[in-house]
Amino acid sequence: MAQEAFTLVGERIEPGTRRQVDVPVAKLYTHAPMHIPVEVVHGRQPGPVLLVCGAIHGDELNGVEIVRRLLRLPNLSRLRGTLIAVPVVNVFGFVQQSRYLPDRRDLNRCFPGSEGGSLGSRIAALMREEMVDRATHIIDLHTGAIHRTNLPQIRSQLRQNRETQAMAEAFGVPVILNAELREGSLREYAQNRGVPVLTYEAGEALRFDEWAIAPGVRGIRRVMRLIGMLPADSRRRTPPPAEVANGSSWARAPIDGILRPRVRLGARVAKHQSLGVVADPFGNDEAPVVANADGIVIGMSNLPLVNEGEALFHVARYQEIDDVENAVESFQSRYETTGF
Ligand SMILES: [Zn+2]
């Protein structure tokens, strides 16, 4: 079967070609038009339609660089199927260096959206009609929030879809978190339609973390090989299957004060272990931040100034923790994650 042209907002992309398309989204107060920049790589042969998108939270930048590098891979000329690559979804948040939209809504809580709804709802509807509903597979790129960093991890609901599980394993980061769906998220919407969808979470907002970007690009390539978009590479070995964490919890600040962490990102921790201390500026009145489960630190705050109750260390719980610890250590030595 021959591949047909792909059309995005009326622009035709012929088989065997690629094209950058500005998808009009809204106007600024000045009436300067705002666009979502999209590149479509349309293979000569039919195949999966993969949507890879970054910065649905406008301040989460690692995905922007991941998409840029993905689009420079030389073997995209041999692509089977179609890659829809969107470096910046939330263009409003991006120019403001903000997670949110101008009305303070979270675009990743606005799906499926509607054409007559709020700004977020309208952008979600546009994104859905032009891109999400046409994708057979989706990879959504995120980072931790501002002042928070994440160990590279895949979040997904694995048991609902075998292909999702295979994609998560192929991605090749040591931590897979079997995560609940957030209402209104792109992931919830896509999964309810039966489309395999991965969320890649890595690094910190408003940063380029090389140890988050490089494994992200590599992971997407591996998924593209798995689903037949890129030729298999027999020289490369597949990563050992990652252990799946079935839950996670946050260790919170016991008091207001200044945090001195005692563990780094990726550390193995035990229940009741002190992960850091919070104290006054002299170090008086120290109070420990206590882990409430055995697990691996998959996210942590980078800001030493904390309020009581603030989430400081994100710990993923595992059944077989030794294997995860080894996998995280070898991953970190490869990508030189310092974590602090
Ligand atoms: Zn995010």
Q: Say if residue 17's pLDDT is above 80.
A: yes
Selected residue with higher pLDDT from 318 and 137: 137
Percent of the chain with pLDDT over 70: 96
Contact 45, 80 (CB under 8 A): yes
Instruction: Tell me the CA–centroid distance for residue 274 and ligand 1, in Å.
Output: 28
What pLDDT does residue 143 have? 98
For 84, which DSSP code?
Answer: E
Q: What does the pLDDT average to over 226-242?
A: 80
Instruction: Tell me the CA–centroid distance for residue 300 and ligand 1, in Å.
Output: 15
Confidence of residue 340 (pLDDT cuts 50, 70, 90): very low
In this predicted structure, which of 20-29, 63-72, 134-143 has the lowest mean pLDDT? 20-29
Instruction: Tell me the CA–centroid distance for residue 63 and ligand 1, in Å.
Output: 10
What pLDDT does residue 131 have? 97
Q: Say if residue 338's pLDDT is above 60.
A: no
Q: Say if residue 13's pLDDT is above 90.
A: yes
Instruction: Tell me the CA–centroid distance for residue 152 and ligand 1, in Å.
Output: 13
Instruction: Tell me the CA–centroid distance for residue 16 and ligand 1, in Å.
Output: 33
Which pairs from 103-107 meet CB under 8 Å and 24+ separation? 106/57, 107/56, 107/57
Q: Say if residue 216's pLDDT is above 80.
A: yes
Confidence of residue 236 (pLDDT cuts 50, 70, 90): low
Contact 222, 42 (CB under 8 A): no
What pLDDT does residue 154 have? 96
Q: What is the pLDDT of residues 296-328, one digit of tens each?
A: 999 999 999 999 999 999 999 988 888 888 889
For tokens 């409430």, the residue is: 292
Q: What does the pLDDT average to over 253-267?
A: 97
Half-sphere exposure of 306 (CA within 13 A, CB side): 30
In the structure, how many helices (H) and strands (E) does the chain have? 7, 19
Instruction: Tell me the CA–centroid distance for residue 280 and ligand 1, in Å.
Output: 32
Length of the chain, in residues: 340
Confidence of residue 43 (pLDDT cuts 50, 70, 90): very high
In this predicted structure, which of 27-31, 71-75, 93-97, 278-282 has the lowest mean pLDDT? 27-31
Q: By C-alpha distance, which of 152, 131, 120 is closest to 49?
A: 131
Task: Determine the residue type at 88.
Answer: V
Instruction: Tell me the CA–centroid distance for residue 10 and ligand 1, in Å.
Output: 30
User: For the whole prediction, is pTM greater than 0.85?
Assistant: yes
Q: By C-alpha distance, which of 320, 321, 301 is closest to 311?
A: 301
> Cα separations (Å) of 306 from 46, 212, 248, 316?
52, 25, 21, 22
| Average pLDDT for the chain | 94
Residue 37, preceding peptide bond in cis (omega within 30° of 0): no
209's enclosing H/E stretch is none
Confidence of residue 226 (pLDDT cuts 50, 70, 90): very high
